[in-house]
Amino acid sequence: MTMLQDKSIIVTGASSGIGRAAALLFAAEGARLVIVARRAEPLDTVAREIKAKGGEVVVCPGDVTEPETHNRAVAAALDSFGRLDGAFNNAGAVIAMKPLAEHSLDDWIATLDCNLTSAFLAVCAQVPAMMETGGGSLVFTSTFVGNSVGIPGMGAYGVAKSGLSGLVKALAADYAYRGIRANALLAGGTDTPAAGSEENKAWAAGLHPVRRIARPEEIAGAALLLLSDLSSFVIGSELWADGGNAATKVQAQG
């Protein structure tokens, strides 16, 4: 028996990076997936990889800042698999890199929409569906930025991501007794397209005591734990998957 056998799971931001790694891992662990991202072509590529290995997957292109995207993803899970057991709400982005007071209002709103309001919209669509069948697990990708440390130029992003910690606590208060588990996954620097240049990756590696950034598969593995029944008493928490970043603020050398 695999860790997500026959569970119906939504993964957002599934076209690349952590979301892609998570979709492939969850499928290997027996999940039946609805994968969501804005770009349809790379999303289709992920789906083909899953199907080639015998997995079940439905593609649902869309923007997570729009309520209709989440409604369609939930409907796809119910129509295709008869239920919704969990979601890895992973999509997010750094909209603008600049000192906080230099952000335009549009920058601020777009950052909150992409990283925090999108999570609220996911909750509104996903929680009712999961309660219909006795509950499930929600995992939200957060980060050390704004939680253990601020980084210059990433203030709005940090504010939005830190809000996810409050979100999972609110969900615990409102829905834990209904069988809904919600947790935030606080990732360290990860080798994804969003990580930028090799120089940027090397700088980020120095912030982690392990002297490297994560592989996407390592963050996906932490999400797998939170979605599985092995974490059945983990509710409203923040799981650090950051290579020890939160344990030190001294940049490692050598």
Q: Tell me which DSSP letter residue 252 carries.
A: P
Q: Is 213 helix (H, G, I), strand (E, B) or coil?
A: coil
Q: How many CA atoms lie within 13 A of 133 on its CB side?
A: 15
Which residue in this structure is represented by tokens 């057991």?
85
Cα distance between residue 32 and residue 30, in whole Å? 7
From 88, 157, 175, 240, active-site residue: 157
Nearest residue to 161 via CA among 73, 105, 238: 238
Maximum pairwise Cα distance, the chain: 53
Neighbours of 101 (CB within 10 A): 6
Say whether 177 is catalytic: no
Q: Tell me which DSSP letter residue 251 carries.
A: P
Nearest residue to 71 via CA among 59, 58, 80, 62: 62
Catalytic residues: 157
